Amino acid sequence: MAESNKHFVLGSNIEAAADAGEGEAIFGCGCFWGAEKGFWRLPGVVTTAVGYAGGNNPSPSYEAVCGGRTGHAEVVRVVWNLEKIDISDLLKLFWECHDPTQGDRQGNDRGSQYRSVIYTNTQQDLLAAQASRDAYQQKLSSKGYPAITTEIKTDQIFYIAEPYHQQYLAKPGSRPYCSAQPTGVSLGPFQGCHYLLPEKVWSHFDWSVSHCVLRGENRPILL
């Protein structure tokens, strides 16, 4: 494995295909630096990588995506062990770590590249994403939030981002930045959910604290 393909925190291959017994999905929730750190910390996650998906250019670059010329969103590819963590757990982190009602922005970051997205590889995960969205919409509406704008699709191509973006927040000299604006609303149960992570895992995320992901440790949460 080339050093550039090695996950800076987990030590896994960030470009390896998901094996049997592993799931794979793509999440976009604002700037991909902070989003990736949230996912790699979850127990049972095998690897993560940041990149671009959902656009119309076959070879997107960071400059082109940020310029709004490709239609891609900044995203995180997540591969996980199906016996240790469920798509439900990943969806819980996804919905709670940002505000999915903001459209083409997240906090101070504006543009379609910062839109909220879930791209799944299986129909089962697609249905879970849709069910979780509907349940979360009810929770948000009760708190006065508008409609969720998250784009949910299957079979979108993931283009890995430049090496310097990978696990950026864990690397020496990185600029601690995250524009996500969590609503403070918890997901809870939804149709077909099957949470596997214990409740104590979520005590490591306090969305009432500004930039919670930045303040947390880089290493994975231990059970």
Length, in residues, of the chain: 223
pLDDT at residue 59 is higher than 90: no
* CA 18 – CA 168 distance, rounded (Å): 22
First CA to last CA distance, the chain:
28
Query: What global pTM score does this model have?
Result: 0.97
106: which residues sit within 8 A by CB, 6+ positions away? 29, 30, 31, 98, 99, 114, 116, 179, 180, 181
Other Cβ atoms less than 10 A from the Cβ of 221: the count is: 18
Query: 4 pLDDT band (50/70/90 cuts)?
Result: confident
Query: What sign has the CA pseudo-torsion 211, 216, 96, 110?
Result: positive
pLDDT for residue 69: 86
pLDDT in tens, 162-173: 999 999 999 999
Helix (H) or strand (E) holding 66: helix 62-66
Top pLDDT among 91 and 223 is at 91
Q: Give the mean pLDDT of 192-200.
A: 97
pLDDT at residue 74 is higher than 90: yes
Output the average pLDDT for the chain: 96
The DSSP 8-state label assigned to residue 110 in this structure reads E
The CATH class of the 3-215 domain is alpha beta
What percent of the chain clears pLDDT 70, i.e. is strictly above it? 100
pLDDT at residue 186 is higher than 90: yes
Indicate which residues carry an active-site annotation: 31
pLDDT at residue 68 is higher than 90: no
pLDDT at residue 2 is higher than 90: no
pLDDT in tens, 123-179: 999 999 999 999 999 999 999 999 999 999 999 999 999 999 999 999 999 999 999
pLDDT for residue 92: 98
pLDDT for residue 112: 96
**Nearest of 1, 11, 45 to residue 166 by alpha carbon:** 11
* CA 108 – CA 149 distance, rounded (Å): 17
Any idea where the domains of the chain sit in the sequence? 3-215
Q: What's the CA angle centered on 200, arms 197 and 206, to 5 degrees? A: 110
pLDDT at residue 102 is higher than 90: yes
pLDDT for residue 221: 98
pLDDT for residue 121: 97
Q: Do residues 37 and 218 touch, judged by C-beta distance below 8 A? A: yes
* CA 30 – CA 108 distance, rounded (Å): 10
Other Cβ atoms less than 10 A from the Cβ of 194: the count is: 10
Q: Give the mean pLDDT of 192-199.
A: 98
